[in-house]
Structure 1
Amino acid sequence: MKGLWSVLLVCLVLTSIDAHASEGGDKKTFCVFDVAGAGGFVYRTLQDYHRKALMAGVAMTMKPYTDEDRAVADFRQGLCDLVAVTDMGVRRFNSFSGSISAIGAVPYYEDLRVLLHILSSPRVADHLEEDGYQVLGVAPMGAAYLFVNDRSIDHVDALKDKRITVFEGHYDARHMVEYVGAVPVDARISNFARLFNTGEADISYAPAAAYEVLEMFRGMGESGGIVRYPVGQVTVQLVARSGTFSEAFVRKSRKIMSRLYPEAMRIVRQYENAIPAERWIEISPKAMRGYQEMLREVRIDMQASPESSGMLAAGVYDDDMMTILRKVRCYTNPGAVECSADNRE
C-alpha cells in the first residue's frame, strides 16, 4: 500500500510540475514602475500579485523602474513580458482603462471599488484588449488631490490665474486648467514635485503619498495645504502583449488585481491619515458641488470643443468607459445633478 501511495504522490508532483511548465513556460519578466523604486507602495503591493501569480502557475521576475517612460520603452522592445504603469501610461495601450483617470470621473473610493469589480468581469473583457495588447488588471494608488501653496484656493473660482502642473500627454487636465482660467505648467512624473516645491507652480495634483514620498510639504510652505476633494483616481494597471499569457491566466490575473483593493486601500489610507490634520483644506459642501459640476462641464465641453486642444482632450476618453463611470457615480450617488441632467455623458 505504501508503494502505491508513493507512486501516486510522484504522479501528482510530476503533474503539478508539468502544469506549471505548460502555463508559465520560461520565467517571465515583470517590469514595475514605482516612483520610489522597489521600496515603494506600488512595488510592494504588486509583490502580493507576484506571489499569487506564482500560485496560479506563472513564474515571474520583478524588475523595478523609477522612470515610467523607461519601463514602457523596455516593454515595447520585448525586455518585459508584463509591465505595471499608471493610468496615464496605459493610455498608450488601451483607451478604455486609460479613461479611468478622466478628471473628476471617479470622485469617491466607493465608486472605484464598484468600478474595479466591473473590470474584473468577463463582460468587459473585450474592452481590455486593443491593438495587440491586453490589460491584465487594475488596482488603486489613491485619489489625486490638489496640493496648493495658498489655503485660500478652496473653491473653483480661486483657480483662475494660478499656475498648475500638467503632465505630458494629459490633454484632458490641460483642457481643465485652461477652462478655469489657470495657467498650465508642463511637467513630467519625474519633475512635477520639484516644480511645485521650488515655487514654479502654485498647484499640483497627486495622491496623498506624494506628501511624504516626494516631500511635497516643502512646496506648501506655511500657508499651503491639500484640498480634500479628489480630482481623479490614480491607478496601477498591468499590460502584456496579447498571447503572452494564456486566456485562463489573463482572467485569473484580473481577479487577483481586483482583490488587491482592500490591502492597497489600507496603505492609501495610511498615507492619507499620516498627513497632519492642519495640512488638509476642508471645503464646504457647496464648494464640493462646485468642483463636481465644473469637472463634469469640462468633460462635456471637451466633446463639443472645435479647438484642437479640446479635440485632443476628448480623444483620450473612451465613450463606453465614460458611460460606465457615469452609471457608477449615479449608482453610489443617485441624487447627483448629472443623474437627471439632459446633457449626460
Structure 2
Amino acid sequence: MKALSMLLLVVLGLSGWSNAGASERREFCVFDVAGASGFVYRTLQDYHRKAALAGVGLNMRPYTDEDQAVADLRAGRCDIVAVTDMGARKFNDFSGSISAIGAIPYYEDLKVLLHILASPRVDRHLEQNGYEVLGVTPMGAAYLFVNDRAIDHVEALEGKRITVFEGHHDARHMVEYVGAVPVAAKISDFASLFNSGEADISYAPAAAYEVLEMFRGMGSKGGIVDYPVGQVTVQLIARADEFDDAFVRKSRRIMSRLYPEAMRIVRQYERSIPEERWVKISPEAVRGYQEMLRSVRIDMQQSTEDSGMLAAGVYHDDMMTILRKVRCYTNPGAMECSADNRE
C-alpha cells in the first residue's frame, strides 16, 4: 500500500499536477471559426501542453464568436483569450498593427518579426491599458478572393465591392483610396457576403477556401490573387499581472516557436487549393500592389480628414517603423528602403 502511494505521488509529480494545481487551472478561451476542430484551436493545443510544462494549467474552451471571447475576457470568465489581430486591436495597438495592410508581404518577414516580439526589447509595448500580449503566431497571409480573374492588378479594383471588417478602418481607407466600394462585414458573415454575390472581393487566409467554402463565391470566373495584402495572426491576450513575468516571457517564446508547425498547416491549406484557382500576377502588378499599399499607409498617416485620421489611429508608430525595417532587411532593394517618405 505504501509503495502504491509513493507511485501515485511520483506520477502526479511527473505530470506537473496535484489537487492544488488542478484547482488553479486557468480558463483559456480560443476563438476559431471552426471551433475545436479548427486550425487555430489545434495549433494552440501545443501551446496548452507547453504551458502546463511551464507550470500553468489551462482549460481550453473553443469559441466561434470572437466578440463573445473578448467580452468573456473583460468579464473575467477567461484568463487568456486567443483572438485575431482585429480582436487584439481592442487591447493593444502595437501588436494590432501587425495586420497593417501590405506591411508584411512575405512569411520570411513575419518570421523575423515574431523573433522580435519574443524579445524583452519590446516588452514595454506589449502591455497597455491593463492587458498584455502573451504571444503571437501565424494564421496565414490574407489574399484577395475575387469573383473575376480579370481583377489581377490595382486599377481593376476600382468600382468593385469589397468586404471590410467592422472596425477595420485602415482596410476601409484602402478600399475607398482605390475607388472601390466597402461592404460592411463581420468575421461571422464576410464569407457568406462573398458567396452570395453581395461582394465582388473579400480578403482572407487561404484556409477560408475550404473551411468557409469561399470557392462558391468565385463561380467559374473567379480565383485568389496570388499576392498577400496582409498577415493574419493569432494573439494571446490576458489581464496584466494575471501571470508572473517569468511565465509571460515563456509564453511569448512558446508562441514564437509555434511558427514552424503553424506554417506547415498554413502551407498545407495553400497547396490544397487547385492550381487553376490562383490568379498569378505579373512582377509589374506586384510592384503596383506594393506601392499602392505603401501609399495608402502614408496617406492615412498624413490625412487631415476624419476617415484618414481614424484609420491611421489603429497603427502604432513604433510598430510601423519595425515593420518597415523588417521589410528592408529581407528585401533591401525595395523602393521604400531609399524613399524620402519612409514610414
TM-score class normalised by the smaller sequence? over 0.9
2:68 is aligned, of 67, 70, 79, to: 70
**Equivalent of 2:49, from 48, 51, 71?**
51
Amino acid at match of 1:332: T
- Taking the aligned partners of 1:194 and 1:295, their CA distance within structure 2 comes to 26
Q: Is the 8 A contact 1:116 1:138 kept in 2?
A: yes
Pair 1:184 & 2:182 matched: yes
Distance 1:17 1:263 in 2: 24
Distance 1:135 1:330 in 2: 26
SS of alignment partner, residue 104 of structure 1: coil
Question: 8 Å contact 2:163–2:182 — kept in the other structure?
Answer: yes
Residue from 116, 119, 122 that aligns with 1:121: 119
User: Residue 252 of structure 1 is aligned with which of 250, 253, 267?
Assistant: 250
In structure 2, relative to structure 1, the CA distance for the partners of 1:218 and 1:152 (3 Å cut) is same
TM-score normalised over the length of structure 1:
0.95
Let me know the Cα RMSD of the aligned residues.
Answer: 2.2
Helix, strand or coil at the partner of 2:30: strand
Q: Contact 1:20–1:58 at 8 Å: present in 2 too?
A: no
Give, in whole Å, the separation in 2 of the partners of 1:15 and 1:89.
37
2:82 is matched with: 84
Matches of 2:102 and 2:136, distance apart in 1? 18
Task: Indicate the SS of the match to 2:76.
Answer: coil
Distance in 1 between the 2:22 and 2:182 partners?
A: 46
Task: Name structure 1 gaps, 5 residues minimum.
Answer: 1-7
Which runs of at least 4 in structure 1 moved beyond 6 Å after TM superposition?
Answer: 8-25
Cα separation, 1, equivalents of 2:13 and 2:163: 55
Structure 1 residue 304 displacement after superposition: 1.0
Letter of the structure 2 residue corresponding to residue 321 of structure 1: M
Aligned partners of 1:234, 1:286: CA distance in 2, in Å? 25
Match of 2:326, SS?
helix
Classify 1:263/1:15 alpha carbon distance in 2 versus 1 (closer, same or farther; 3 Å). closer
Q: Percent identity among equivalent residues?
A: 78
The 1-side partners of 2:309 and 2:171 are apart by 13
Once the 2 structures are TM-superposed, how far is the Cα of residue 177 of structure 1 from its aligned partner? 0.1
Q: Distance in 1 between matches of 2:276 and 2:248?
A: 44
The answer to which of 238-247 and 21-30 deviates more is 21-30
Instruction: Provide Cα deviations, 1:19-75, integer angstroms capped at 9, x if missing partner.
Output: 989999711000000000000000000000000000111001000000000111111
The question of whether the paired residues in 1 share the 8 Å contact of 2:106 and 2:228 is answered with yes
Instruction: Summarize the Cα distance change of 1:16–1:248 in structure 2 as closer, same or farther, 3 Å threshold.
Output: farther
Could you say what secondary structure the match of 1:166 adopts? strand
**What amino acid sits opposite 1:282 in the alignment?**
K
Work out which of the residue numbers 239, 242, 245 in structure 2 matches 1:241. 239
User: 8 Å contact 1:84–1:239 — kept in the other structure?
Assistant: yes
Alignment match, 1:4: none
Aligned residues: 341
Structure 2 residue 223 is the aligned partner of structure 1 residue 228: no
SS at match of 1:189: coil
Give the structure 2 partner of residue 278 of structure 1.
Answer: 276
**Would the aligned equivalents of 2:16 and 2:55 in 1 still touch at CA under 8 Å?**
no
Amino acid at match of 2:328: C
Q: 1:146 aligns with which of 136, 144, 160?
A: 144
What is the alpha-carbon distance in structure 2 between the residues aligned to residue 24 and residue 162 of structure 1? 54
Could you tell me whether the CA contact under 8 Å between 1:20 and 1:57 is conserved in 2?
no
User: 2:173 is paired with a residue of what secondary structure?
Assistant: helix
Show the counterpart of 2:37. Answer: 39
Q: How much does 1:10 deviate?
A: 11
Structure 2: runs of 5+ lacking an equivalent: 1-5
Q: Which residue of 2 aligns with 1:172?
A: 170
Counterpart Cα distance in 2 of 1:211 and 1:19: 41
Residue 212 of structure 1, aligned match among 203, 210, 226:
210
Partner deviation per Cα, 1:178-207 (whole Å, 9 max, x = no partner): 000000000000000000000000000000
CA distance in 1, matches of 2:128, 2:118: 17
- Matched residue, 2:3: none
Larger displacement relative to structure 2 (121-130 or 20-29): 20-29
2:165 matches 1:163: no
Relative to structure 1, the CA distance from residue 312 to residue 10 in structure 2 (aligned partners, 3 Å threshold; closer, same or farther) is: same
User: What SS does the aligned partner of 2:323 have?
Assistant: helix
Contact 1:65/1:71, CA 8 A, preserved across alignment: yes
2:195 counterpart of 1:197: yes
The residue type paired with residue 208 of structure 1 is A
Question: Counterpart of 1:84 in 2: which secondary structure?
Answer: strand
Using the size of structure 2 for normalisation, the TM-score is 0.95
